[in-house]
Structure 1
């Protein structure tokens, strides 16, 4: 049974793309990481240019869910950067000051084979804008993927996270890029350092398969929980997701949907996870103990929300997560086995 919700047509217009709102004291989420343009070469010779980047997709999801979100990124003041900014602004994402100071916008060139499998070439320059920081009113700081591993920006990301941690919940998604990150053995120490700084970690079973070949994903998740997070969530593609916490483990079954593609699905799950934690009043440094004591029923509702958002994303082309109004208006999504 298919499920496809048309994208809402009303966009939120932001006056300036490189500055936060005048009232910076409102509760908000800060996302730190790459925004770039995916240049997709297809076997028929056609080429598409689509905005993307894992952290940018997380910010986009939060914006579409009507959350106040600010993105710390590194874009050029060029045509490609303008396309990315327009895409973000259309979903209410605000860019932090300095985020458009890059010499050029980063690009990921994807070449698809006849089966739709892609090989990637990255033309990437990742840095954290000078002076970037999360304000004390940031409820959460999220980072992950390339930005958290690739220097010279990665060290600045970790510094920003450490500084923000006393007042903000830290969320992290490794979202590995093997074509860019090199040897898993070299990447694991950096990933585990960030896991130890995080309150909430979301990771896919595929990422864990690369980081820890042959290991049971849940065994790795349990070991990561021992490094410090309150919650580690493993996504299992079409099989749903499982959350590991001090209260035990909770699973969510994936909705049955007609999959168009999986681009941005994990990022929309991550954005929905932050959104759900906000709705449950579990964000912010002052709520860290409450997050550690989260009960199974709350975790179950949280995971159901995340898989529902991801299901809409995979039901249509590209990184196109739902807006809040779409979720509110949509009929219940059938579950596997229903």
Structure 2
């Protein structure tokens, strides 16, 4: 594939975050983990398509306008959601968010994607496990493995998901399909309480991925690779406005960094599995910087390449 024509396909929920702050203020912002990843990729200069499930309503219009103004191509399907989903995020005094969702998730049967295979297909969060759309997402990933790198971020939402014992097999089935997995320590603590995150990452990387990254919020990130490398990356010190979208911006940076290293696409799968520690460290240090910028300002507002001094 010509590098100039390479694109990412992101599959998953887009919704409206209704943010309630400790000072009593309320605001509405487009969000959803996969949508945030697509936005982050577009701001980093990548061609990004988002396959999602929006209603033809004011909230859906808000989401489309927000994403498309930064260059995300929100794909149109043969059918739409009855209503655009919402997530009410209540922030604590340290900027951490808890969520209450009104959400339905499905996929259209057909959509207006560009010709040719994407170089990478990303999914995660609610879309990857919530029926009926979750099953369609798993099928779509399986169909694209022959042509595309597959990336996955569980980004779990316990309020919407079945108990850990039920959710864990779904997550691990997707881990086995993925080439790159990014997961937070909070997700792992809910899925497998009492098990060390690094131990889980080591297990997951043996299931098929080339790289598994565990984020630890303000403590940085840990990564392990199929070739046996282990890396710990420190977080940047920053004054936190809130943590909304931090992990999603990290995920965008991870995809973008591996893309720049020439490691995406099914034809680069073995090269990705052999990624050297120096290359991965360079990618992860930049991911940490991207996440730090995101948490330094309100909402899911990832940086552009220009803000990173790259363009």
Length-normalised TM-score, structure 2: 0.93
Q: Partner residue of 1:298?
A: 279
Match 1:179 to one of 159, 166, 191: 159
Question: Are positions 1:254 and 2:225 aligned together?
Answer: no
CA displacement at 1:119 relative to structure 2: 4.5
Q: Partner residue of 2:261?
A: 280
Equivalent pair of 1:141/1:169 in contact (CA under 8 Å): yes
Equivalent pair of 1:71/1:95 in contact (CA under 8 Å): yes
**1:266-293 deviations in Å (ceiling 9; x for gaps):** 0000000000010000000000000000
Q: Partner residue of 1:68?
A: 47
Equivalent pair of 1:111/1:119 in contact (CA under 8 Å): yes
Change (3 A) 1:149 1:135: farther
Q: Indicate the larger mover: 211-220 or 42-51.
A: 42-51
Give the CA RMSD over aligned residues: 1.9
Q: Partner residue of 1:193?
A: 173
Question: Are positions 1:105 and 2:84 aligned together?
Answer: yes
Change (3 A) 1:293 1:321: same
Q: Partner residue of 1:34?
A: 13
CA displacement at 1:108 relative to structure 2: 1.1
Change (3 A) 1:99 1:201: farther
Helix, strand or coil: the match of 2:236? coil
**1:37-72 deviations in Å (ceiling 9; x for gaps):** 012234554321111000000000000001000000
Equivalent pair of 1:77/1:100 in contact (CA under 8 Å): no
Equivalent pair of 2:97/2:243 in contact (CA under 8 Å): no
Q: Partner residue of 1:307?
A: 288
Length-normalised TM-score, structure 1: 0.86
Q: Please give the alpha-carbon distance, in whole angstroms, between the structure 2 residues aligned to 1:239 and 1:111.
A: 23
Q: Please give the alpha-carbon distance, in whole angstroms, between the structure 1 residues aligned to 2:34 and 2:170.
A: 17
Structure-to-structure mapping, 1:139-154, within 5 angstroms: 139-154=119-134
Q: Please give the alpha-carbon distance, in whole angstroms, between the structure 2 residues aligned to 1:303 and 1:207.
A: 19
CA displacement at 1:110 relative to structure 2: 3.1
Match 2:308 to one of 323, 327, 330: 327
Question: Are positions 1:240 and 2:224 aligned together?
Answer: no
Q: Please give the alpha-carbon distance, in whole angstroms, between the structure 1 residues aligned to 2:237 and 2:98.
A: 29
Q: Please give the alpha-carbon distance, in whole angstroms, between the structure 1 residues aligned to 2:24 and 2:277.
A: 50
Equivalent pair of 2:78/2:109 in contact (CA under 8 Å): no
CA displacement at 1:137 relative to structure 2: 2.8
Q: Which runs of 5+ in 2 are unaligned?
A: none
Equivalent pair of 2:14/2:30 in contact (CA under 8 Å): yes
Q: Which runs of 5+ in 1 are unaligned?
A: 1-24, 331-338
Q: Indicate the larger mover: 123-132 or 214-223.
A: 123-132
Q: Please give the alpha-carbon distance, in whole angstroms, between the structure 2 residues aligned to 1:119 and 1:47.
A: 14
Change (3 A) 1:268 1:148: same
Equivalent pair of 2:41/2:253 in contact (CA under 8 Å): yes
Q: Partner residue of 1:336?
A: none
